[in-house]
Amino acid sequence: MREYRGNASTAFQLESRPNKANQRERQPRKPGFPTGEKLLYLFSVIICVALALFVLSRYATVTELSMKQAKIEQETTQLKESIQDLESQQKELKSGERIRRYAEEHGMVLQGASQP
C-alpha cells in the first residue's frame, strides 16, 4: 500500500471488526485475590497459629517446671534447716552432763570403781 500523504483518493483498507458472536465477552474482573492465593494465605495463617500454639505450650511447660523447681528448692532449704535443728538437739541429748543430770533426777546412783 502506498503512503497516505493527505490524498483523499488513496484507498485504505478498512479494519475488520471482529464478529461479536466469535468474541468472548470480557467479564468484569472481580476485586480480591484468586482462589489459589487465598488458599496459600489460609495455610500460612494456619501454620503460623500452630507454631504460636506450640511455642506458647512449651513456654507454659517451662514455666510450670520452673515453678516446681523453685518449690522443691524451698522445701530442700527448709529440710536442711530442720536437719540442722535436729542435729543440734541430738548433740544436746547425747551430752554426758545432761545424761548424768537426768539419771540423778530419776534416783539412779552412779556405780563406779571407787565403791566396793
Please list, residue by residue across 57-96, b when 16 or more beta carbons sit within 10 angstroms of its beta carbon and e when fewer do. eeeeeeeeeeeeeeeeeeeeeeeeeeeeeeeeeeeeeeee
The more confidently predicted of residues 106 and 40 is 40
Reported confidence tier of residue 62, pLDDT bands at 50, 70, 90 = very high
- How confident is the model at residue 12, as a pLDDT? 60
CA angle 62, 63, 66 (to 5 degrees): 85
Reported confidence tier of residue 11, pLDDT bands at 50, 70, 90 = low
- How confident is the model at residue 21, as a pLDDT? 55
- The residue type found at 72 is I
| Choice among 8-22, 35-49, 85-99 with the minimum mean pLDDT | 8-22
The more confidently predicted of residues 13 and 78 is 78
